[in-house]
Chains A and B, each alone.
Chain A
């Protein structure tokens, strides 16, 4: 089935959800309604493409990513995403799935970071297909479907990333004086009709969010990853483009995953 046909099916399924949201904004009901039919999630096609890309011999060194170590050993994907971000000895830094992917694509396959990060996200204004990075990420993440968010916090650098992430979350800056906390540190808040999770406390809000990404965003007609969400909220805060896979974005994700610990992944997600 073509991407467009599936998108059409999903859109009609979602219309009911949108109408409902206008009457009484309720993210949970919306999620459950839209998430109902997992087989109709267009992200499944992107996952297939990600798998092909993962197993294909690519790059100047003409090797696949099958020997990439996402933290549970070379080649082990099952459950790896659920235990990220984590400290990696070889790079001596804490990495999330996406920054780790960059490491493997440069070290194993011989790509350069510059070429890989030239365009990290599909441009939804131009209705583009997902980038290779997005497809690979959702494939990797989907191998942790049904597992619990369980990023380690033992190594001092993991603890540092979580604490620094919390600090970044509260930092106010830019022409709108916003911090992440301005929108995500109170219960039951909305920007217009969009529900905002309270991520400043551990619990259901942040578990539901972190366990549902990567997600197929219907309004973008594309799969979106956590690195994209970090860029997106920074962009909405009128800040410069967040650097893909930077220690800053990884620290935010480490903090959010620490807050969302024990949430159960339902991947790929589907959202507005």
Chain B
């Protein structure tokens, strides 16, 4: 908002208010194009193209949330976090290894949908290195190799790691990492298993 006001002031001073109007129009047109851009029908799950407040803000600011808005943003994200009923934030690392590796599944549409009941994983290797034996690791996220060795298997590390995976935006507004727990990709129990895979001294991540 502030950015926009400044822009308006600057451009008005230069006598080019027209451009500003055009910018607002573009955002509205984006929504129109999106609304007509996908096939309709039950199997299409068009509710997925509707943005929540977080996605809207990250779009408006192209992932650079103004500093004065960041606190409220992160508090909102933190309020979404749910914990496992058992209260255990670190589970079984061997199960966690599998969930860490499995793809997200959950594709929709009529052309090539995934089975609705397909197991959903975290697909973490898409973006992160972890077990050094897995060479096919992406680099959008930082390397998690040696994660537990570096940070220890402490309650603080475990809590941070759980929350980071449940809702990455709690610690970094508009992170590229999906809010995997909040968005329903992974259950709290699955996330706790992944935490164990990252922090447990027996896990290949820390060998």
Partners in one complex: yes
Hey, which chain A residues are within 8 Å of B104, CB to CB? 176, 238
Residues facing A in B26-42 (CB within 8 A) are 26-27, 29-30, 33-34, 36-39
Hey, which chain A residues are within 8 Å of B183, CB to CB? 175-177
Which among B37, B55, B126 has the greatest number of chain A C-beta atoms within 10 A? B37
In the complex, number of A-B residue pairs with CB atoms less than 8 Å apart: 138
The reply to whether the CB of B116 lies closer than 8 angstroms to some CB of chain A is no
Q: Are A167 and B140 in contact (CB under 8 A)?
A: no
Known: A170-B62, A241-B38. A160 touches B110 (CB 8 A): no
Q: Are B38 and A190 in contact (CB under 8 A)?
A: no
The reply to whether the CB of A247 lies closer than 8 angstroms to some CB of chain B is yes
Known: A164-B30, A248-B33. A235 touches B125 (CB 8 A): no
Q: Are B111 and A160 in contact (CB under 8 A)?
A: no
* Number of chain B residues close to chain A: CB under 8 A: 48
Name which residue of chain A comes closest to B106, CB basis.
Answer: A238
The reply to whether the CB of B143 lies closer than 8 angstroms to some CB of chain A is no
Q: Are A241 and B36 in contact (CB under 8 A)?
A: no
**Chain A interface mostly helix, strand, loop or mixed?**
mixed
**Chain B interface mostly helix, strand, loop or mixed?**
loop
Q: Are A160 and B38 in contact (CB under 8 A)?
A: no
Name which residue of chain A comes closest to B134, CB basis.
Answer: A192
Question: How far, in whole Å, are A170 and B135 apart by their CA atoms in the complex?
Answer: 30
Of B6-14, B44-52, B86-94, the one touching chain A: B44-52
* Number of chain A residues close to chain B: CB under 8 A: 45
Known: A167-B27, A191-B138. A246 touches B185 (CB 8 A): no
Question: How far, in whole Å, are A50 and B59 apart by their CA atoms in the complex?
Answer: 40
Question: How far, in whole Å, are A22 and B126 apart by their CA atoms in the complex?
Answer: 15
Q: Are A240 and B109 in contact (CB under 8 A)?
A: yes
Known: A167-B27, A235-B111, A238-B106. A190 touches B48 (CB 8 A): no
Name B residues whose Cβ lies closer than 8 Å to a Cβ of A: 22, 26-27, 29-30, 33-34, 36-39, 44-46, 48-51, 54-55, 58-59, 62-63, 104, 106-112, 125-127, 135-140, 174, 176, 178-179, 183-185
Known: A168-B37, A189-B139, A191-B126. 4 other contacts (CB 8 A): A173-B48, A177-B58, A234-B38, A243-B37
Between A and B, 13 residue pairs with Cβ closer than 8 Å are A121-B111, A167-B29, A168-B34, A172-B59, A175-B184, A176-B104, A235-B109, A235-B111, A241-B39, A246-B33, A246-B37, A247-B37, A248-B37
